[in-house]
């Protein structure tokens, strides 16, 4: 066992194959002590080592259940924060590359959301009338804000349930940071577009008049995912002109115009399940992250299913891509040597309030529909 922490420099130039060996050996030594979680958007070189794979909802539920001492999260920063908040003080969450963030999550921060809340309070009684909902793709202190205000969190899998619940509790919703998920979900629930308003956080009062705030049922934070915003309705038109029988499936982080042209709108899990359940020989045009689409293409080609990526340019999540075999091997080798690198921790107060919002999310997600 090494006395000191192994520096990343010694892994920087290692080949992928050497790193694979290190990761395999570390997994054999650490056994059940270490759980490796892999988000669907991870590159295959890393994804292949995950003990559990899934989207944000599934992985957060798994993090809440595991007894493993170490949770190595092959995802992005907000996911590791969620895992830390849902596990005990003794469990340690590690993000192989600490710079693996989410550009969408960075579009909302606590001071900006508090300022928005103050502005809303100058027009109406925000605490009584507005339910704050944050997408899970957000910093822990925004989840805590929602917990403090009686609000909750959603993922792309449960957004409809969460938004329905929110609107059954209060007149309006402030939805952050992804305007597209908010708009697509609200529209699916039958809320007209003229009852939604974009909150431009760079402008006073979100760039809205008091009348516009009063009229809106859903206030959409002006944030977006840099990956999913690259898909455009023309991509669908061009593809269908060539393959008229193809089906289109889009993640709800894609813009409204793309989702309106899609046959199916859904989270990464829904995309996977829908293509899996489709008839052999079917053809799909998919609007979501490239690594997932490429994996689906490989997974289903033996059934003669064709799974094509929607954008003509490469569009992958560059922050997920930061987690490479070198970083994974580095953190695993350190664990074998009793050293912890890149631990992600959230302070107690933030955890307490954020967990209120997370627990509320789990309850709403798993509540049985009333008959």
CA angle 315, 319, 325 (to 5 degrees): 105
Q: Which is nearer to ligand SF4, 26 or 259 (CB)?
A: 259
The one among 30, 113, 181, 225 contacting ligand SF4 by CB under 6 A: 225
Q: Which is nearer to ligand SF4, 68 or 225 (CB)?
A: 225
The one among 104, 139, 296, 329 contacting ligand SF4 by CB under 6 A: 104
Q: Which is nearer to ligand SF4, 289 or 324 (CB)?
A: 289
Do residues 289 and 315 make contact, with C-beta atoms less than 8 angstroms apart? yes
Cβ at position 225, least distance to ligand SF4 in Å: 3
250 binds ligand SF4, rule: CB under 6 A = no
Q: Which is nearer to ligand SF4, 317 or 344 (CB)?
A: 317
Do residues 125 and 104 make contact, with C-beta atoms less than 8 angstroms apart? no
Q: Which is nearer to ligand SF4, 149 or 251 (CB)?
A: 251
320 binds ligand SF4, rule: CB under 6 A = yes
CA angle 88, 94, 98 (to 5 degrees): 135
| E strand or H helix at 174 | strand 172-176
Buried/exposed code over 194-223 (b: 16+ C-beta within 10 A; e: otherwise): eebbbbebeeebbebeeeebeebbbbbbbb
Q: Which is nearer to ligand SF4, 45 or 106 (CB)?
A: 106
Beta bridge partners of 63: none
Choose the stretch contacting ligand SF4; rule: CB under 6 A; options: 58-66, 116-124, 180-188, 219-227.
219-227
Under DSSP, the state recorded for 66 is -
The one among 317, 328, 357, 358 contacting ligand SF4 by CB under 6 A: 317
83 binds ligand SF4, rule: CB under 6 A = no
Rounded to whole angstroms, how far apart are CA atoms 287 and 235? 10
Phi, psi of 225, deg, nearest 5: -95, 125
Ranges of H-type helices in 262-368: 268-277, 290-300, 325-336, 348-366
Choose the stretch contacting ligand SF4; rule: CB under 6 A; options: 30-38, 223-231, 295-303, 331-339.
223-231
Q: Which is nearer to ligand SF4, 146 or 208 (CB)?
A: 146
92 binds ligand SF4, rule: CB under 6 A = no
The one among 103, 171, 282, 337 contacting ligand SF4 by CB under 6 A: 103
Rounded to whole angstroms, how far apart are CA atoms 11 and 103? 27
Q: Which is nearer to ligand SF4, 152 or 268 (CB)?
A: 268
55 binds ligand SF4, rule: CB under 6 A = no
Do residues 57 and 79 make contact, with C-beta atoms less than 8 angstroms apart? no
The one among 55, 289, 324, 333 contacting ligand SF4 by CB under 6 A: 289
| E strand or H helix at 113 | helix 110-123
Residue for token digits 């192989």?
96
142 binds ligand SF4, rule: CB under 6 A = no
- Residues of the shown chain interacting with ligand SF4 in the complex, contacts defined by CB under 6 A: 41, 76, 102-104, 137, 225-227, 289, 317, 319-320
């Amino acid at each position: 066992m090494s006395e000191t922490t192994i520096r990343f420099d010694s892994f920087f130039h290692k080949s992928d194959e050497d790193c694979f060996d290190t990761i395999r050996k570390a997994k054999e030594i650490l056994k059940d002590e270490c759980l490796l979680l892999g988000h669907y958007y991870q590159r295959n070189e890393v994804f292949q080592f995950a003990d559990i794979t899934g989207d944000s909802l599934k992985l957060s539920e798994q993090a809440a259940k595991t007894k493993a001492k170490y949770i190595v999260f092959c995802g992005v920063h907000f996911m590791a924060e969620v895992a830390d908040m849902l596990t005990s003080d003794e469990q340690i969450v590690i993000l192989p590359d600490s710079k693996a963030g989410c550009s969408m999550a960075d579009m909302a921060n606590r001071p900006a959301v508090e300022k928005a809340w103050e502005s809303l309070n100058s027009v109406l009684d925000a605490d009584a009338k507005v339910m704050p909902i944050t997408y899970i793709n957000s910093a822990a202190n925004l989840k805590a804000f929602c917990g403090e205000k009686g609000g909750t969190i959603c993922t792309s899998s449960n957004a409809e349930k969460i938004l329905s619940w929110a609107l059954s509790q209060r007149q309006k919703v402030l939805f952050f940071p992804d305007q597209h998920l908010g708009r697509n979900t609200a529209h699916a629930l039958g809320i007209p577009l003229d009852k939604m308003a974009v909150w431009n956080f760079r402008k006073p009062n979100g760039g809205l008049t008091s009348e516009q705030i009063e009229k809106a049922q859903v206030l959409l934070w002006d944030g977006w995912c840099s990956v999913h915003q690259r898909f455009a309705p023309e991509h669908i038109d061009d593809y269908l002109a060539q393959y008229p029988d193809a089906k289109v499936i889009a993640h709800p982080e894609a813009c409204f115009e793309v989702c309106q042209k899609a046959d199916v709108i859904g989270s990464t899990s829904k995309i996977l399940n829908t293509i899996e359940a489709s008839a052999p020989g079917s053809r799909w045009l998919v609007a979501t992250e490239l690594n997932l689409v490429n994996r689906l293409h490989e997974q289903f080609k033996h059934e003669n299913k064709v799974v094509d990526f929607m954008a003509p340019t490469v569009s992958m999540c560059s922050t997920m891509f930061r987690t490479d075999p070198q970083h994974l091997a580095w953190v695993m080798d350190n664990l074998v040597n009793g050293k912890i690198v890149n631990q992600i921790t959230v302070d107690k107060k933030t955890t307490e309030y954020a967990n209120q919002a997370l627990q509320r999310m789990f309850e709403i997600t798993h509540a049985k529909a009333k008959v």
